């Protein structure tokens, strides 16, 4: 039992180092996810603006078409 305890105790620093590395990796992964989310939000906002601009362009085209029909 003492030999097992010594072996487990000797293994503990390696396990702790591995845990720290895993935690650091998790933090990096979370930070990357935050960047990805921010980029997605920016892309979504840009898409909404583009759609709104398209609506304005369509309305303008319809008005111009209606005016052209009257003029003809």
- Per-position pLDDT tens, the chain of length 72: 677 677 777 778 888 899 999 999 999 999 999 999 999 999 999 999 999 999 999 999 999 999 888 877
- Tell the burial category of 12 from Cβ atoms under 10 Å away from its Cβ (0-12, 13-18, 19+): exposed
Q: Residue for token digits 């052209």?
A: 68
- pTM across the whole model: 0.52
């Amino acid at each position: 039992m003492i030999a097992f305890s010594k072996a487990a105790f000797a293994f503990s620093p390696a396990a702790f180092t591995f845990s720290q590395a895993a935690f650091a990796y998790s933090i990096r992964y979370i930070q990357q996810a935050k960047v990805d989310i921010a980029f997605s939000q920016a892309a979504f906002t840009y898409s909404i603006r583009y759609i709104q601009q398209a609506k304005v362009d369509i309305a303008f085209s319809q008005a111009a078409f209606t005016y052209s029909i009257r003029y003809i």
